[in-house]
Amino acid sequence: MTQAFARRSSRRRRGGRSALLLSMTPLTDVVFILLVFFMLASSFLDWRGIEISAGGRGGSGIEGLLLLRLHADGRLDLGGQAIALEDVSGRVGAAGREGKAPQVALQVEPGVPLQSTVDVITQARAGGATTFTLVGTK
């Protein structure tokens, strides 16, 4: 019994480190498979949400809201007055100072890309608007 143990331990000593250390190849394979999986399955998009509701037909149900009209040719007006996109936050902010948090209605003509609408909403949000209603022209 003692002799067998001594034989085994001397064999282990003779075998050195290589007998005890594991090969790195299977570990590398697993890491690479995980890496490829996560690179393909992961999305790095930082999604944000803008809460929006629909107004009634022809712009009904938007009484008392700040009306921003977006035209298909890129023009923008606030309550019938032409306005630049950069001025939206200031005007919305001024309306907010007069009373409670401004509520904005966006009236969009057919052909207005969503990016333009989101740009206006981003500006209005900077001015303190929190509620947005989207209405059509007819």
Partner 1 sequence: MRKGRQQTDPLGGDEQMMPFISIAFLLLIFCLIAGAIESRAPVPLEPPRGEGSESTASSLPPLYLAKDGSLWFDGKQVAEEALGEALKPYREAGEEDLRLQIKADAASDSALLVTLLARLRALGVAQTEIMTEAP
Residues that bind partner 1 (CB under 8 A): 16-18, 21, 23-25, 27-28, 31-32, 34-35, 38-39, 41-55, 57, 70, 108-119, 121-122, 125-126, 134-137
- The least CB distance from residue 92 to partner 1, in Å, is 14
Residues in the chain: 138
Residue 61 is encoded by which pair of tokens?
A: 């149900």
Minimum Å gap between C-beta 25 and partner 1 is 7
For partner 1, which is the closer residue by CB, 6 or 118? 118
Tell me which amino acid residue 53 is.
S
Instruction: Provide the token pair at 128.
Output: 């303190």
* The two structure tokens encoding residue 42: 């992961």
Contacts of 3 (CB under 8 A, 6+ apart): none
Query: Least distance from C-beta 4 to partner 1, angstroms?
Result: 27
Residue with Cβ nearer partner 1 (5 or 44)? 44
